[in-house]
Amino acid sequence: MIRAAEAGDRERLRAIQTNLREPNPALLAYAVDGPPLVLVSTAEGTPVGYLAAFHDDETGYVAEIVVEPAHRRAGRAKRLLAAACDRLRAAGCSEIRLTVHPDNDAARRLYESLGFAEVGRVADYYEDGSEGITMSRELGRA
């Protein structure tokens, strides 16, 4: 099930966040209370993955998306992204963007399967000095 994050999810989401290459605890703490969009994927009522996104009038940006390793390969990230696209479109966004590490082939394949395409690269984006690959997908209007 995909639902909006709640304040009571905070500790669980922090634990999930440790699975990211470069977790940003301050971002998650800010995002759970809004206004950013934070969606969670649950298993038996317990969060096992989440997506945090920001948006302006035109563009949504996925800041973090992560699913615990034991719950991967079950379509959770795909459902989180689909739900985020729906909510961002409803908020008036016509595009969604994200940045992915060049070594994260599984994530890139997922994003491409959902219609994302590379639109640019950002030098020294990651702490290891790697560039970030920016990907985008049109959302249309609600």
- pLDDT tens for the 142 residues of the chain, in order: 999 999 999 999 999 999 999 999 998 988 888 778 999 999 999 999 999 999 998 999 999 999 999 999 999 999 999 999 999 999 999 999 999 999 999 999 999 999 999 999 999 999 999 999 999 999 975 4
Query: What pLDDT is stored for residue 74 in this prediction?
Result: 94
Contact 39, 1 (CB under 8 A): no
Stated pTM of the model = 0.93
- Beta strands (DSSP E) in 1-142 are 2-4, 37-43, 46-55, 59-67, 95-100, 117-122, 132-138
CATH number at residue 77: 3.40.630.30
Distance CA 136, CA 142 (A): 18
Could you list the residue range(s) of the whole structural domain that residue 55 is in?
2-138
**Number of domains into which the chain is organized:** 1
> Each residue of 88-125: b (16+ CB within 10 Å) or e?
bbeeebebbbbbbbeeeeebbebbeeeebeeeeeeeeb
